Amino acid sequence: MNRTLIGFLVAPLIPVFLFSLTAGAYFFIILMIGVPAAYVGALIVGAPLLFILRKLNCLSWHYFVLGGVLCALPFGWFYSGGANTHLEIYGLRNMVVFCVIGAAGGITFWFLSIRESGLVRRSSWREVVGFVGLGLVTFACVYVYYLGASVSYDGRMLAQNLEFISSSNREVKIELANGSFVEANLSANLPFRPGCPIYVTSRRSYINGEYLYWVNGYKDSPFVNVWPILEQGKKDGIPKSCE
């Protein structure tokens, strides 16, 4: 069988399978979703990328690590939720996991299809460019993974002059369980309920390292998180204030 075909058949499967082994009860769910996504990424992104790398004679292993990362990025973005609050809090850190899976797929493909094929003709400048690119991507992933670690808190919404509901994100003042007062992001369509107990998530800013806070929901009324699709009867049963 053609070595390239073997690479395309095996390389997307192995990293997803190994990652699913760490998922416990979600093993089969990750396989059912991750394996088709990995093959689609290999076909849509990987195949044209392989053609380009061969044309440029960039066939060292680090180029295939970077290529695997590129194959994984679209699905990492899709999983992370697009441009919403989930992406703001967790998305970039989650995408690091996809980058690692893609990189593992890329090096697997190189090992199976390129390593001993006789196609690799090294040149100093290509090696330098490849290693610099790999170094930058690795630094970015480590940086995001470190700063993106999130912490959960209990807190309380403070009274302030805000409307009960808004179609856009808002900055609100909250009190954390440790007695500190901070400003937090209240997502669009998440009601403002002064005095009510809340769940808070925090992580550090990727730009300046300062701590950022998000209101994730209300402890006394979990259904508030789906306010736009909540039945009117349930909306009427949720108090607008806890003061």
Show pLDDT as tens, one digit a residue, over the chain (243 residues): 588 888 899 999 999 988 888 888 888 888 888 889 899 999 999 999 999 998 888 888 999 999 999 999 888 777 765 445 556 777 788 889 889 999 999 999 999 988 866 555 667 888 889 999 999 999 999 999 998 888 999 999 999 999 999 888 899 999 999 999 999 999 888 899 999 999 999 999 888 889 999 998 899 888 888 888 888 888 888 889 988
Amino acid at residue number 114: I
CB-based contacts of 51: which residues, under 8 Å, 6+ apart?
A: none
Helix (H) / strand (E) element for 183: namely strand 181-186
Cα 44 to Cα 3: distance, rounded to the nearest angstrom: 19
CB 185, CB 85: distance < 8 Å: yes
Instruction: Indicate the length of the chain as a whole number.
Output: 243
**pLDDT value at residue 191:** 92
CA distance 18 to 16: 6
How high is the pLDDT of residue 11?
A: 92
Task: Give the domain 151-236 fold.
Answer: OB fold (Dihydrolipoamide Acetyltransferase, E2P) (2.40.50)
- pLDDT (0 to 100) of residue 102: 93
Domain spans of the chain, in order of start? 3-147, 151-236
**Contact at 8 Å (CB) between 214 and 185?**
yes
Q: From the CA atom positions of the chain, what is the Rg in Å?
A: 23
Predicted local distance difference test score (pLDDT) of residue 225: 81
Helix (H, G, I), strand (E, B) or coil at 160: coil
3-state SS, residue 173: strand
Q: What CA–CA distance (Å, rounded) separates 88 from 189?
A: 16
Q: What is the pLDDT of residue 83?
A: 45
Residue 15 CA to residue 100 CA, distance in Å, equals 9
Residue written as tokens 């009274």?
159
